[in-house]
Amino acid sequence: MKFNECLKHQRELYGCTQKQMAELIGIAPRSYQRYESGEREPNIDTLIQIADFFSITLDALVGRDLT
């Protein structure tokens, strides 16, 4: 799974909208939408913040399979 797919999946599991997610991590809603659409990728600090928010590893967030 690609990062944008993992991000959307996690957000949907959490049960919030893109706008709510953007507010929770302190970014503009359009920036968050671009992450989910695959147009942009967040910087490392934002990736860490998102992973911490969902209580998952960075590997899980970016779709890295460690098996």
Q: Could you tell me the CA-to-CA distances from 54 to 30, 41, 50 in Å, in that order?
A: 20, 17, 6
| Helix, strand, or coil (residue 55) | coil
The pLDDT profile of the chain, 67 residues, written as one tens digit per residue, is 899 999 999 999 999 999 999 999 999 999 999 999 999 999 999 999 999 999 999 999 998 876 5
Q: What is the pTM of this model?
A: 0.87
CA atoms within 13 A on the CB side of 13: 11
